[in-house]
């Protein structure tokens, strides 16, 4: 399937791939939803594609057998991390500016108020499991870069090449397109620049058949997996390859506790995807959980975070709407999601005792 990479946007379980929604009909931007209530246990992922469904199926096996929310979210996150067709997480994640895949992940166990994370981790396909070991086998919360890799190897994790041929092809095309001043791409005499033609015109589809014509901008994409088990304990994971083509060493929000993920066993959990810089500045996941603590539903709390972020920019005279998606669950079995600055409607896969379904949340502040 041709995958068009010509616009900045989210990577949902394989560029351009995804199941049709089986949830609510699409709602216009600004529509507010009532809270969704279900029986426990509950597990959700922000991935609403086939891999997200498989992740929820496997997480559910654990929860239905009386297992913990912590084990369930790890299993679900691992399913998405190893998917070689998903360009946003783990294996096949889109790389940084140098073509190196650097992964970020975090985990929280509400039952013990514990957290762990890794950042800029290379060559390990399941960073969320490494984050779990940081949480459970050290007195620290966060390990980064070569230290995180050493730590993972000491526990027997194998180093693998995470940059798949497809992801490399996409990165190479980005490198050729990211400036009209540099020397990447076909020689000038073959691409028509000497004749004053559009430099891009001489660049065609890559050998793998991807539709890579046009410019290739940065892409967001991450997964959040959140669960409440039958005992009422809450856990969550956020895992990502981060912003594509990021500056070498850049760390996003996903491994920052309170930004890309937060869990409070007496309330629920929240996770974020999208422009990490804004999620870090706003401590968005912590904010969402605190809003739920004050009585807001997960859906309302996700929307509150959007209003808070947009409001902060407006307070300093800026009309800026970052592309971000939030998902949240609470201990009562309610869930919600919302995004801003993005076309369409945000969705997530939800597994409850009643069903495995795709839920569509609300879209606020659509793209300009
Ligand atoms: N939030 C992630 C980051 O900023 C990106 C993403 O969701 O793709 O690293």
**Is residue 207 assigned to a domain?**
no
What is the reported pTM? 0.87
For residue 17, report the phi and psi dihedrals to the nearest 5 degrees.
Answer: -100, 160
149 lines ligand 1 (CB under 6 A): no
The HSE-up count of residue 341 (CA atoms within 13 Å, CB side) is 20
**Is residue 251 assigned to a domain?**
yes
Average pLDDT in the chain: 86
Taking only the tens place, the pLDDT of each residue in 245-281 is 999 999 999 999 999 999 999 999 999 999 999 999 9
Number of separate domains in the chain:
1
Taking only the tens place, the pLDDT of each residue in 321-337 is 999 999 999 999 999 99
**Is residue 364 assigned to a domain?**
no
Catalytic residue among 45, 222, 349, 352: 222
Helix (H, G, I), strand (E, B) or coil at 349: strand
- Rounded CA-CA distance 46/142 in Å is 23
Residue 222 annotated as catalytic? yes
Residue of 45, 144, 275 to mutate, ligand 1, most atoms within 8 A of C-beta: 275
Strand arrangement, sheet containing 335-340:
261-264, 268-274, 324-330, 335-340, 362-364
Question: What is the pLDDT at residue 4?
Answer: 33
216 and 177 Cβ atoms separated by less than 8 Å: yes
Question: What is the pLDDT at residue 340?
Answer: 97
**Is residue 102 assigned to a domain?**
yes
- Rounded CA-CA distance 82/16 in Å is 19
CATH, residue 306: 3.60.20.30
273 lines ligand 1 (CB under 6 A): yes
Question: What is the pLDDT at residue 183?
Answer: 77
DSSP calls for 4-23: ---S-EE--SSTT--PPP-S
**Is residue 189 assigned to a domain?**
no
Its domain, for residue 287, covers: 36-162+217-359
> Which DSSP category does 108 fall into?
E
**Is residue 199 assigned to a domain?**
no
**Is residue 268 assigned to a domain?**
yes
Strands 261-264 and 223-228: unpaired
Question: What is the pLDDT at residue 19?
Answer: 27
């Amino acid at each position: 399937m041709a995958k068009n990479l010509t616009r900045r946007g989210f990577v949902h379980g394989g560029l351009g791939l995804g199941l049709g929604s089986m949830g609510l009909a699409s709602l216009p931007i600004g529509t507010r939803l009532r809270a969704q209530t279900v029986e426990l246990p509950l597990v959700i992922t922000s991935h609403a594609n086939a891999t997200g469904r498989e992740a929820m199926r496997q997480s559910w096996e654990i929860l239905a057998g009386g297992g913990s929310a912590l084990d369930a979210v790890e299993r679900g996150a691992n399913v998405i991390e190893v998917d070689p067709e998903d360009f946003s997480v783990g294996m096949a994640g889109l790389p940084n500016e140098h073509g190196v895949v650097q992964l970020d992940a975090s985990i929280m166990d509400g039952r013990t108020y514990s957290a762990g994370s890794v950042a800029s981790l290379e060559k390990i396909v399941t960073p969320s499991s490494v984050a779990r070991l940081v949480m459970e086998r050290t007195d620290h919360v966060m390990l980064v870069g070569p230290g995180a890799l050493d730590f993972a190897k000491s526990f027997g994790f194998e180093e693998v090449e995470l940059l798949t041929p497809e992801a490399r092809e996409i990165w190479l095309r980005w490198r050729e397109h990211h400036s009209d001043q540099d020397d990447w791409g076909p020689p000038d005499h073959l691409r028509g620049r000497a004749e004053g033609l559009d430099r891009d015109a001489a660049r065609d589809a890559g050998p793998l058949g991807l539709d890579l014509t046009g410019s290739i901008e940065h892409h967001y994409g991450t997964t959040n997996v959140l669960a409440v088990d039958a005992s009422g304990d809450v856990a969550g994971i956020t895992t990502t390859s981060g912003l594509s083509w990021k500056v070498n060493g850049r760390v996003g929000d996903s491994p920052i506790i309170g930004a890309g993920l937060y869990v409070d066993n007496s309330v629920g959990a929240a996770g974020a995807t999208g422009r990490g810089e804004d999620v870090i500045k706003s401590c968005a996941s912590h904010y969402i959980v605190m809003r739920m603590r004050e009585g807001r539903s997960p859906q309302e709390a996700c929307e509150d975070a959007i209003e808070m972020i947009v409001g902060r920019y407006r307070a300093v005279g800026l009309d800026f709407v970052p592309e971000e998606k939030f998902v949240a669950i609470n201990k009562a079995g309610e869930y919600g999601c919302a995004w801003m600055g993005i076309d369409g409607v945000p969705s997530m896969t939800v597994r409850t005792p009643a069903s495995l379904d795709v839920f569509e949340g609300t879209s606020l502040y659509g793209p300009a």
